[in-house]
Structures are given as C-alpha cells and as structure tokens.
Amino acid sequence: MSSKRKLTPKEEARLAQVRENFQKRKEITSGLSQIKNKIGVYSGKGGVGKTTVAVNLACSLASIGKSVGIFDVDIDCPNVANILHLSEGPTQDEKDGKFYPSSRFDIKVMTMSFFHENEEEATIWRGPMITNAINQLLQMTHWGEMEYLIVDMPPGTSDGPLTVMQTLSLDGFVIVTAPQNVSKLDAIRSINMIKKLNQNIIGVVENFSGPVFGTGAGKEISEQFRIPLLGSVSLNAEHNQGAKPASMTSKTVKDEFKNIVLEVINNIKD
C-alpha cells in the first residue's frame, strides 16, 4: 500500500497561500453580501473630477431615499473624506476586528485617509503594497445592508483598479471624462480595460463641461462605444464653496446630478 507523498516546504507554502487567499475572498464576499448594487466611478487619469462625481452621486442617491455608502479605494490620493468634511473615522469591533464605516449626510464612508496621521502625507507604495491595502480594507470593512455602494476607483489601468475589478464584483462602472481630447483618450483607455475584463459599463459622465474647456467628449465616447451618456456636470465655482458637496447646496449642481442618478438607476443591470 503506497503512502501519501509528503509535500515539499515550497508546496506547503503555496498551499497555505491558496488557503489564505480563499479565506480573504470569503470574508470580502460576506462583507459585501448585503449590498444590492456596487458601482465603480472610474477614469483613466486623475484630475478629471472623479471623486467629486462619486461623492455627489452618493449624495444625490441619499437625497432620494436610497441607502448608500461610498468606498474610497484611491490609495495614493484619497479625497472623499475631505470633500465630505468628515474627520471621524470608523469604529472597530473589539472581538472580530471589523471596521464599521462612519457616516456623513446619511452616507456610510470608508477611506484610506482615515488611517493617515496627516492628510498631506504621501503614500509611496509599490503595486503589491497597494493591492494588499485594498484587500485589507475590503476584508475588514462591515457595510451591512445597503442599496448602493459607490466605489471611488483608483485612476489608471494598473494594479489598483485591477485589484478592485477582480475582487469586488462590481455591477457596473460610471466613466468620468473631461471635455479635453487628452482626458477623452484616457477615458477610452479605461473603457477598454473594463471591456477586456468583461465587466459592465453603465455610462459616461462629462465633467467640467462648458465654455472654458468645451463640451462633447462625453457624447463622442457614448457614440463610439454605444454606451449611455448619463449627463454633464458644468464647471461651477459652487463646487468649492461651503461645508457640503455642491449637489446639496446648489440648485444647478443638484439638478445635474439628479438627472445623472436617474440615468444610473435606469441603466444599471439588476
């Protein structure tokens, strides 16, 4: 009778890593299981107002009675808490170590900035460290029951967004572009990444639209890829005023995001 072959130390280590990854994925899935819709807000580069769109989208959903959270996984430059004027971090369960998101304007919030001692601190990490940080945040956050989770994605097409796309099982993406050609090109790159990973695109939003930077990039992307144009957000000084997101204080911005939210709700796949 043959005996079972003993695993080598290298094989044992590999098997242990597989088991650990499986357990992490199981915890992440469990933590997100009560969320009906998970929406990524994404752009191929920073500086196009992705976080501003994500925050105001969450605020607009909350304003029409939806239960909503926002997850800031832009590890390098997390800005959600700053836009929401939120300084209170999550609470932590002493037994299981899980984080329970803090709340602002009826929106649950989790962001890497809660773990920075100084908001001006630079996060100088290589790809594997960013991947580990995203996975840890996902694994340790307890969201509870919600209708919508808005995920403020890392920009670009490398480790950060790839980790989120492969781990969160998002229901769709809102692409953010600015009117300039270079921003349109970067938005197209992000769309091509999503398509390669066979994930759903809800539509595109054109930010900074108006006489200063022009208009039309959102429409051109919509027509090129046959995806919905969810709406445009004008270049408006009211985004930089007060202690609340502009969709809560400006009628113009409120109306813009109300239209975008209705389009998102209508176009997201159940």
**Domains in the chain, ordered, with CATH?**
9-267 (3.40.50.300)
Rounded distance, CA 141 to CA 46, Å?
Answer: 25
Our CA dihedral for 196, 170, 32, 122, rounded to 10 degrees, sits at 80
In this prediction, what percent of the chain has a pLDDT beyond 70? 94
Rounded distance, CA 40 to CA 159, Å?
Answer: 16
Residue 18 has pLDDT above 80, yes or no: no
Q: Which residue would you say has higher pLDDT here, 74 or 188? A: 188
List of residues 6+ apart from 67 with CB closer than 8 A: 145, 146, 147, 148
Which of 218, 145, 138 has its CA nearest to residue 170? 138
CA atoms within 13 A of residue 39's CA, in its CB half-sphere: 32
The whole-number pLDDT of residue 226 equals 97
Rounded distance, CA 75 to CA 55, Å?
Answer: 16
Q: pLDDT tens digits for 200-213?
A: 999 999 999 999 99
Classified as helix, coil or strand, 52 is: helix
Q: pLDDT tens digits for 220-259?
A: 999 999 999 999 999 988 887 778 999 999 999 999 999 9
Number of other residues whose CB lies within 10 A of the CB of residue 22 = 10
Chain length of the chain? 270
26-35, 137-146, 155-164, 223-232, range with the lowest pLDDT: 26-35
Supply the DSSP symbol for 6.
P
Residue 1 has pLDDT above 60, yes or no: no
List of residues 6+ apart from 2 with CB closer than 8 A: none
The two three-digit tokens of residue 74, written as one number: 């832009």
In this prediction, what percent of the chain has a pLDDT beyond 90? 57
Q: pLDDT tens digits for 53-91?
A: 999 999 999 999 999 999 998 877 889 999 999 988 899
Number of other residues whose CB lies within 10 A of the CB of residue 161 = 25
Q: How high does pLDDT run on average in the chain?
A: 88
